Amino acid sequence: MIKKVLFVCSLGNETGLGHFARCKMLMEHFNKKKIKYDLIKLEDEKKKDYAVYIYKKAQYLKPNVIIFDLNKKFLNLKFLKVIRKLKKERNTLIGIDNLRIFYKYLDLVWVPSFFIEKKYNKKNIVYGWDKFLLKKYNYSYKIKKNIYILTGASTNHVLPKYMPKMIEKNIPKNFNIIWVQGKYSIKPILNFKSNRWKVLKNPKSYFSYLSKAGYVLSLYGMSFYESISLGVPTVCFPYGINKHKDKNELKEIKKLNISIIEKNYKSAIDKLKMLIQNKKKSLLLSRKSKLRFKQNGLVNFEKYLTKFF
């Protein structure tokens, strides 16, 4: 029986909110199942010896499951020593996503992706379309004249500066533009006259705004999967430090024809313009993308967890 779960996740200017958002989804799911939990948030901005802090908190809270979802910057040798120490003390340790590099010391590694490198094809590492930690909504997409721009929650100055003017110029004037501003990101620079723009700052639930979206232009990341899980036609592009890492995943997505994938935001805006003029293509993307999320990843995670007890 699962008595108590300890979540350890990272967030901040560099990390964004993706790791925390996944843990939050699981915490909400566990709350419905009356499973007790605690949370340790590791923030980019605060200087602290996190490895020692995690161990001391685990000793005090005495969970029987510890779930880690962390940015790579936290996965150093000090952290590895803590993992090994907690393992020796017979804690059940579960890592999400980046924790795959320490799979030898974990009971389970849960990768919320349909793609994984061959070197990580191990018995205790699971991945697939049914592993995305997203809520399951009963939602039917309908074409609307609203375009939502998702550029993530982390600090980024280039996209808010250069994308708005190009979007305003290329997207038909009868479409409303909603820029979703993440917690750590800056406001888009709207240095032109237009009454069709709206800035939506740090929304609490992706369903609360994506259910109103006709189309989405998204930076590749968790927001992208939130969008296509609802069947919203989405044009996606990579940007920043993960651009090279995500290359193979984006190739596979392009082959599946569940989203339009472009190399950069400039070509992505051009393709978005073409997509909104092609209703048949839009509805095809919607249908094919939603089919990939038939199973509830949160329920699947809970089922895997019960195998240890």
277 and 300 both lie in a single domain: no
Domain co-membership, 180 together with 124: no
pLDDT of residue 14: 81
Residues 124 and 65 in one domain: yes
Q: Are residues 166 and 123 in the same domain?
A: no
For 69, the enclosing helix (H) or strand (E) is strand 65-69
What would the two tokens of residue 141 be? Answer: 């997409």
**Distance from C-alpha of 6 to C-alpha of 261, rounded to nearest angstrom:** 37
Measured in whole angstroms, the distance separating CA 153 from the mean position of its chain's CA atoms is 10
Residue 174 shares a structural domain with residue 100: no
Within a domain: residue 138?
no
Q: Are residues 81 and 183 in the same domain?
A: no
Position 79 in a domain: yes
Q: Which residues of the chain have pLDDT under 50?
A: none
Residue 116 and residue 228 in one domain: no
Output the CA angle 125-110-289, nearest 5 degrees.
110
Instruction: Please indicate, yes or no, if residue 93 is contained in any of the structural domains.
Output: yes
Place of tokens 């029987």: 64
Residue 140 lies in a domain: no
Structure tokens at 259: 């989203």
Q: Supply the DSSP string of 260-292, one letter for each residue.
A: EE-SSHHHHHHHHHHHTT-HHHHHHHHHHHHHT
Do 157 and 262 share a structural domain?
yes
CATH number, domain of 36, equals 3.40.50.2300
Contacts of 27 (CB under 8 A, 6+ apart): 7, 37, 39
Whether 36 is covered by a domain: the verdict is yes
Q: Return contacts of 279-285, CB within 8 angstroms, 24+ apart.
A: 279/143, 281/233, 282/143, 282/215, 282/233, 283/143, 283/233, 284/257, 285/233, 285/234, 285/257, 285/258, 285/259, 285/260
> What's the pLDDT at 142?
96
* pLDDT at res. 38: 95
164 and 220 within one domain? yes
Write the CATH number for 159. Answer: 3.40.50.2000
Residues 171 and 57 in one domain: no
Where in the sequence is the domain holding 100, given as residue range(s)?
Answer: 4-133+295-306
Could you tell me if residue 139 is inside a domain? no
For 109-115, the CB contacts below 8 A with 24+ separation are 110/301, 110/304, 112/22, 112/225, 112/297, 113/249, 114/249, 114/252, 114/292, 115/248, 115/249, 115/252
CB 219 within 8 A of CB 81: no
Quick check: is 207 in a domain? yes
In this structure, the answer to whether residues 229 and 127 fall within a common structural domain is no
Q: What is the pLDDT of residue 180?
A: 96
**Same-domain status, 223 and 90:** no
- Number of structural domains (the chain) is 2
Other C-beta atoms closer than 10 Å to the C-beta of 278 total 12
Percentage of residues in the chain having pLDDT higher than 70: 97
In a domain, 159, yes or no: yes
Which pTM was predicted? 0.92
